[in-house]
A and B are shown apart, each in its own frame.
Chain A
Amino acid sequence: MKILVCITHVPDTTSKIQFTADNTKFDTTGVQFIIGPYDDYALARAVELRDQTGGTLTVLNVGEAETEPTLRKALAIGADDAIRVNSSPKDSFFVASQIAHYAKEGGYDLILMGRESIDFNGGMVHGMVGELLNMPSFSPVMKLEVDGSKVIMAREIEGGKEMLEATLPLIAGCQEPIAEWKIPNMRGIMSARTKPLNVVEPVSNETQAEVSQYQLPPAKGSVKLVDKDNVSELVRLLKNEAKVL
């Protein structure tokens, strides 16, 4: 089985979010970049499936040269080779178009990625790639088993989950608990240095919904503390002051 995992290169979840250049650019000062946490689940499951069924595992990222350490980390975790589409990810449609092109070229049976990136939170790329390639797409997938060409999945829905059956090829946007995150070991880190990382150019420049300006939410006022022996005061405040009851 040929597996493709698409990963994002995103600020660590503890990062302070700030912008520069008149609020038109993300401020990377002091920010550590990681594999998107949801993508990391997809990658972990893909490594398991590759080991179980044989075959190959390719990781792909749409990003400029600074994302290569993130791709190398994915190689250290267990991917066999990597593709970097050499462009900043301009919008969901742009990214989906690149993935669809290179996925078609590679002829993958299973395409996994995170349910959403944790920077833009769109959660749209997997569905777009699915439609572009005329393949079924599923998200958010929390369980995925492959049996020959049959795939059994659990997809999270509001307040529960649904079990699904589909056939390869397909695309899934993943989330926990599909697999446990894998931490690269020393052998993985060493071998990642020499695994192929191919840089390819974007196939189209078309975008549909680009960001023009960023904004931070207004600062939060300070907390109003209520004495623990006077809890009915809290109820009154919620009712009369906050008006949320």
Chain B
Amino acid sequence: MSILVYIEQAEGKVKKTSLEAVAFAKALANQTGEGDVVAIALGSIDSGELAGIGGAGASKVLHASDSKLNDGVIQAHASAVAQAFSSVGAKTLVLAKSSLGDAVAARLAIKLKAGLVSNVVELPNTSSGYTVKRSIYTGKAFAETSVTTENKILAIKKNAIDLILNDSKATVEPFAVTLSESDLASKITSTERATGEVLLPEADIVVSGGRGLKGPENWGMLEEMAKILGAATGCSKPVSDIGWRPHHEHVGQTGVKVAPTLYIAVGISGAIQHLAGVNSSKCIVVINKDPEAPFFKAADYGIVGDAFEVVPKLNEALKAEL
């Protein structure tokens, strides 16, 4: 028996969030005695990358290298993962919550007759029954959820576990999947992805700007800060609504929910809808010239001051200290 982990890739690289899912599965397997961790990876990925999944705790990686799986066609990925699940005789599937992961997991819940819990924030309590803690109300509360099915799917939230990688290598085995016509009925015609940048939903540090920055031409200093810190850039809803920044940078209730270790908000007042997108951050820094900005109540550290004065100085200080 094994726990199966669905691995996602971006441009041939295994996503860090998927490695977190592997580490989570390994800790779960140790707790429940469900054997080892097997990963299923789809499409063209470098074999060194695949073996490296061992560093997070997988003993084996099944690689379905069919190039039809390169794109994240939801139905095809769900079929392939279901075949791997039955092939390894797993009872539990673990995956990272993501745009593709969610869509695939939902279909698998039906295919595998598996109780599915999303936004999982810590290892399940398996001492009596099977209770999983998940984040709800956009980070404003948690729910203990009792899973009653034999098969289970856990979609984990970022930072549900500390990822420590070692040098272990996983055995990589080719895995043949059968895809039906309906699995491949939809097609991805093109993909636009910000390249060479840190992706916002997966970033460890996020630097966000709001209307206080007065215009898109003033984002340079935030981009500089992001570069110094290896951070992703985000923005508030009004900023993406007026088109100063692209929609995929909108952080908040109806935008991207982030869970970085450090969130730096510049010129954002902190409307409750914005806070909903950042309340899972470990540490929040707020820079705002209005001392009454509600964001200060949700912050760990704050500077009351004009962004145009504070940010350039902060960038210099960061450069000097890091």
Contact = CB atoms under 8 A, between A and B. Distances in A.
B162 interface: no
Interface string A5-42: 00000010110010100000000000000000110000
A236 B98 CA distance: 34
A138 to B, nearest CB: 7
Interface string B120-151: 00000000000111011111111111111100
A238 B143 contact: no
B147 A139 contact: no
B174 interface: no
Contacts of A242: 262, 282-283, 300-301
B164 interface: no
A122 interface: yes
A93 B106 CA distance: 9
A165 B187 CA distance: 5
Nearest to B271: A14
B214 interface: no
Contacts of B131: 212
Interface string A69-102: 0000000000000000000000011001000000
Interface string B302-319: 111110011001100110
A123 B254 CA distance: 13
Q: Is the interface of A mostly helix, strand, loop or mixed?
A: mixed
B320 A232 contact: yes
B10 to A, nearest CB: 7
Contacts of A96: 110
A223 B187 CA distance: 49
Contact of A209 (B148, B194, B261, B318): B148
Interface stretch (A46-54, A56-64, A182-190, A214-222): A214-222
Contacts of A65: none
B261 to A, nearest CB: 5
B217 interface: no
Nearest to A127: B106
Interface in A198-245: 207-217, 220-221, 223-228, 231-232, 234-239, 242, 244-245
B204 to A, nearest CB: 9
Nearest to A130: B107
B293 to A, nearest CB: 11
12 contacts: A127-B104, A128-B109, A137-B106, A142-B247, A158-B199, A160-B193, A209-B145, A217-B139, A217-B142, A217-B279, A232-B317, A235-B318
